[in-house]
Structure 1
């Protein structure tokens, strides 16, 4: 069937974005030239230079022709940022949440410019790549990284298909840990605060052999009671119980060779996702009425619930931090890995880098997703994953330094398996089996009871009862191989104008196994099946960079990214097991990066237009044949996404720092597959039009008493939908968060004491939410309420 299109005035949108960027660039360039006449004897107050490795070489953020937001250790601490999720509050057009409720609180669902993936389960892959010291972290479970012992985080917007490749169709998060290189030094920090919070962090860098071998050890334990409770047993959800450890050996083998071996491990033992029931409803094609009419009384008696209990709104607490859940809840994750990085300066114009990575992840995640005493949707998941990757890079300069080149090869392998038991409308099959006869008509207007094969359910041994046996036990496994070769060349056409050409060829093969049964009746959900699929893609990049002067950079780029396909991960019927194809994205970007007021201010602006084709969207709906849950991943269609990011950092005086970030984004479906079941007027989930952050800090000099720094931060996020269907009942309205921090530092800059508050206005907002029409309920996970804390640290 030919695709029906709804392209509208895409050209006009692109033209307006390009014109806006050009006007900003022109005004910035004119202003920067005017600043050359500033008096030489004016007080010297400048911003620190921020270096990044977004293009796999060390360079100034202001000279990097990519839309990047970078955070240093000090900037993250000053803003009370503790994990990846908190970074999204201060980064335009970025959303980081825990995704589906059954993914646990260590799951990182990352969306950049509207592109990402809300589901955690394989073979579905993330849409934004997370990299730690150059090693790709394949699974989103365990991906909500803690920021202890982190030197720098870079958030790269737009497809990074050339230099990063695998699953960076929306962008990449590049995390760099600290590396030991100098004298004995370290720091210890303790924090206490709301709900019995006790955090202790420490790190030490030490020389082992002078000028040759250096080591580091860093550890942290973070503990806090949850901010949500269950009525039945008082169990707190949303708690923190995390221990993390890092160690590294840095060997300067010669003047030309540096070898760094690092190890990290994280242990999480938490109670589970802090959700609550928003409400129940009777979808005409779902099982809500049947469950309450047939199974609720029997299940209520078995659970000891009050007589007459039903699965209905009586279990809605009306308190975002209180639930009536009683089912299993657990969030236990162990991750560890090692990285070996070898840098060899093989010649004046040739450098060789090898990055070898190995990682493992083990997770047990149990979630009561309906948050009631009834076993409507309970999940019990165990995942075991291991991965290996090897990357080789050759880089250098040529043509008298006018050509900067990088060539590379990449290999990645992942093995992962999952043992899952999911309870769906549990008790309904048993209740039908307990009926005295076939009393439940399955066809409108048909009179029951009637003898088989009449379409009536009920009665022991009735084969129609198995239609409603929904408790499912799938066992799945995935083996992935990814090979890639890439090149990235930047040639200086003139002293001011540079051309960038890049390309990556990727080939990926996945072998997927599934064996899924309904244990109550023995019915087969999916018979033991092994399927193999492979995908390949060439993802190019073309860019032009123009330095108006030393302070202003203009750039334009064209790039592509892709994400390989997979299989529907939750089939409840053999016919639902089917593959889906890869998704592709083409992006156009115009930007300007500038230093103003003698480097007292930077202003960076980027506009973008993306054509997102065959996007993979996860959705839940009603199976038209059974009324039960239908969980699918489809290539839903094509979308155009456009928008702008602007970030300002300023230091008007030596003691005053200001920052502002603004993002605007919109999207429009240009084609929709008929199977998706929603309108082309819908918007992408987790894609607010507006994101804004603003911060200010002032440092008071206390002389011999040290200094006192007062900081405030505002974070605003526009309204957005939580599902592809744009269900209005789970739409999140716009909200604003306020943080504050007061820090004292002694004159030697060794001691530091800070008092801070986050979400100090106690804003109530949802981070993720789901509507499940097959069983008639909606849930939500709320963000953290107002919290306070006090920390003390000592450096040496």
Structure 2
């Protein structure tokens, strides 16, 4: 099927979704819990507004939550020009949220040094992503554009006693907009640099007192920031269609049933990186960091879709029962050119697919002094894929394929008790059991391209790996905290939590080079300690949240790929142990009625205590802790925004915001290389005019105003076999976008 035909079918699916999927879908957040006051950055009030979050499964004032959490409302994100989830790393301290190397929409996330860089099938993320209450297990297609959103919360540190899936580093909650009791409609058109043209439509309407429907569709397109000088195709272009529909049924005042569906299709070209080293003929790297000479092909297609149903019953004023059922699946077909040259020195055509079903049952209690949640979580997921590694200098291709099946069962609870009006304690725990079955096949074929990817029909001349193995992983992870109100507006707290990520199987493992790969790798755990203070000062003109943390990280799972004379050796090792400590500060100051300042500062010091690396020559593990560093964990992250709300005589307003963000030196792999990114600064400007009746908005957004060049990913294959290939992927250049929005 042609790309144009696929695009037509996908748009037709989205426009027809309200008919096809009205009875199921992706959860829309709980109405009572999703309410949030207008953010300080967009308000013309004399004092800062209170921020309500649901980080602990119930509505709470942010300053009362004994958890390090950043919260951003839809209005605040719009006022600051946020486009997708990657903007969060400049707004939340000690947070990295990036597009994965060689990808347009695969998510890589780290919080406080804990995450998962390798997005291969079967690997679990260290930072959990939740769309409403549904856990998104797959990183492909998870770089969500910000549309039809109510708010986004970033929870730092291990999460497991409150959330469906245990996450070791933290969680990102993407909460969609609720259906209201009045008809609403929104339309936004954006036109900008690189022929950017986006259309976002959303709306909802009640059909009766007990039934309402809503939906949104978004089309995002822009030309490439660079070009493939070999094929002529755009590089770093965008061609995405996304949609979401939902329905809400309230048969009684105490029962609510919500259903929804969503789908995202990414038809952007395959993204090849920029070769940072000279070509085999001695030619210098291309002048434009977004250009390439890759010859593997430009085809790329990523689709994700989900269905879910949430039923909620308020049994009494204190007791609520909630059930969440969800199904998601996805498919990716893409090409990655590691050498960035026309010849297939190191080319990888690849495909991934997955599906997951999850079921969660919660019981929520809200009493005068006791509050809590208890739940059971079940997930049945399968992720699979295949890719060729085509190596011209060896005259062969390496086919790797396989799957990982996961069945996870967990029980969790988290209880808070008010000993006095000022002193509160919280205790929680979770037991997780994961059963995993991994199947891995790896074989060498003569010539470029194996039969699975269009090569000639032939038997492999060497089968390197061919096994199926099953393992079970279980762990109890507790959580405890104590908080004390120093004043009605200032709360201090101390907490302990344990995070757990189960083991698995290396889909790239070569059983000839590393025989132990058939045994899989073990879980990793984090013991995290945190103290903090949150509060409002100066008659609620200043909000200041501070936290200090210390973590012991053991069994850390690290992926290493080493070029060899006959291919590439892949390891997923439990390398040993490390410790991480740091500080975080978030502040909002109401300088005048119209002028607001916001700042976030993060400091992280992460150091390996033991790093056991497998030596292919000695066949032994060697401790190389002194030679290794943490990936995607800059020591300093800072952001500062100054917002000014200008009222006009006709009651319309102009909200302007200037943001300066800084990230210090960042190591992209645990081993230092020329790909590591020095510290850099980004400057953004955003202007939004809103009419007096709130019906019209006109905006102008400038991102990366100084046109900074900075690397967000790369591949180091520095050996003669792979023609000394170091390739890098860069963040977006300067872009300027104008918007016109209509709301009624």
**TM-score for both structures, normalised by structure 1:** 0.83
User: What are the ranges of 5 or more consecutive residues in structure 1 without an aligned counterpart?
Assistant: 1-42, 281-309, 430-468
Corresponding residue for residue 382 of structure 2: 415
Corresponding residue for residue 55 of structure 1: 56
SS of residue paired to 1:730:
coil
SS of residue paired to 2:186:
strand
The partner residue of 2:421 within 475, 495, 513 is 495
Corresponding residue for residue 3 of structure 1: none
Corresponding residue for residue 597 of structure 1: 538
Encode CA deviations 1:250-295: one digit per residue, 9 max, x unaligned.
Answer: 1112111111111111111011225110015xxxxxxxxxxxxxxx
Superposition deviation, residue 318 in structure 1: 3.5
Superposition deviation, residue 98 in structure 1: 2.3
Is the Cα–Cα contact under 8 Å of residues 100 and 119 in structure 1 kept in the other structure?
no
SS of residue paired to 2:49:
coil
Corresponding residue for residue 186 of structure 2: 187
Corresponding residue for residue 437 of structure 1: none
> What CA distance in whole angstroms lies between the structure 2 residues aligned with 1:584 and 1:312?
47
Corresponding residue for residue 320 of structure 2: 351
Corresponding residue for residue 163 of structure 1: 162
Superposition deviation, residue 226 in structure 1: 1.2
Encode CA deviations 1:559-603: one digit per residue, 9 max, x unaligned.
Answer: 001101112221244453331110000000001110112222210
Is the Cα–Cα contact under 8 Å of residues 400 and 507 in structure 2 kept in the other structure?
no
Corresponding residue for residue 605 of structure 2: 666
What's the Cα RMSD here? 1.7
SS of residue paired to 1:85:
helix
> What CA distance in whole angstroms lies between the structure 2 residues aligned with 1:117 and 1:339?
27
Residue 107, structure 1, aligned to residue 55, structure 2: no
Corresponding residue for residue 669 of structure 2: 723
Superposition deviation, residue 397 in structure 1: 3.7
SS of residue paired to 1:279:
coil
Gap change, CA 1:192 and 1:56, over 3 Å in 2: same
The partner residue of 2:704 within 728, 735, 759 is 759
Encode CA deviations 1:148-173: one digit per residue, 9 max, x unaligned.
Answer: 11111111000012222635101011
Superposition deviation, residue 523 in structure 1: 2.6
Is the Cα–Cα contact under 8 Å of residues 233 and 298 in structure 2 kept in the other structure?
no
Superposition deviation, residue 705 in structure 1: 6.1
Corresponding residue for residue 557 of structure 1: 495
Is the Cα–Cα contact under 8 Å of residues 216 and 248 in structure 1 kept in the other structure?
yes
The partner residue of 1:635 within 566, 574, 579 is 574
Corresponding residue for residue 15 of structure 1: none
Residue 773, structure 1, aligned to residue 739, structure 2: no
Superposition deviation, residue 233 in structure 1: 2.7
Is the Cα–Cα contact under 8 Å of residues 126 and 167 in structure 1 kept in the other structure?
no
Residues 523-602 of structure 1 correspond to what in structure 2 (within 5 A)?
523-576=461-514, 577-578=517-518, 579-602=520-543
Corresponding residue for residue 637 of structure 2: 691
> What CA distance in whole angstroms lies between the structure 1 residues aligned with 2:192 and 2:67?
39
> What CA distance in whole angstroms lies between the structure 2 residues aligned with 1:750 and 1:679?
59
> What CA distance in whole angstroms lies between the structure 1 residues aligned with 2:284 and 2:627?
34
Superposition deviation, residue 621 in structure 1: 1.7
SS of residue paired to 2:146:
coil
Of structures 1 and 2, the larger Rg is shown by: 1
The partner residue of 2:338 within 353, 358, 369 is 369
SS of residue paired to 2:732:
coil
Encode CA deviations 1:279-338: one digit per residue, 9 max, x unaligned.
Answer: 15xxxxxxxxxxxxxxxxxxxxxxxxxxxxx73542621331222222223331111101
> What CA distance in whole angstroms lies between the structure 2 residues aligned with 1:751 and 1:544?
47
> What CA distance in whole angstroms lies between the structure 1 residues aligned with 2:109 and 2:282?
32
Encode CA deviations 1:464-518: one digit per residue, 9 max, x unaligned.
Answer: xxxxx4x111221121100000111111122211111000000001111122222
Count of residues paired in the alignment: 676
Greater helix content? 1
SS of residue paired to 1:253:
strand
SS of residue paired to 2:634:
coil
Superposition deviation, residue 200 in structure 1: 0.4
> What CA distance in whole angstroms lies between the structure 1 residues aligned with 2:394 and 2:369?
72
> What CA distance in whole angstroms lies between the structure 2 residues aligned with 1:730 and 1:63?
42
> What CA distance in whole angstroms lies between the structure 2 residues aligned with 1:192 and 1:660?
30
Superposition deviation, residue 417 in structure 1: 1.9
Question: Larger deviation: 388-397 or 525-534?
Answer: 525-534
Superposition deviation, residue 249 in structure 1: 0.5
Corresponding residue for residue 622 of structure 1: 563
Encode CA deviations 1:54-87: one digit per residue, 9 max, x unaligned.
Answer: 1111212121111111111111111111111121
The partner residue of 2:244 within 222, 243, 246 is 246
> What CA distance in whole angstroms lies between the structure 2 residues aligned with 1:681 and 1:65?
36
Gap change, CA 1:489 and 1:497, over 3 Å in 2: same
Corresponding residue for residue 69 of structure 1: 70
Is the Cα–Cα contact under 8 Å of residues 721 and 731 in structure 1 kept in the other structure?
yes
Residue 794, structure 1, aligned to residue 729, structure 2: no
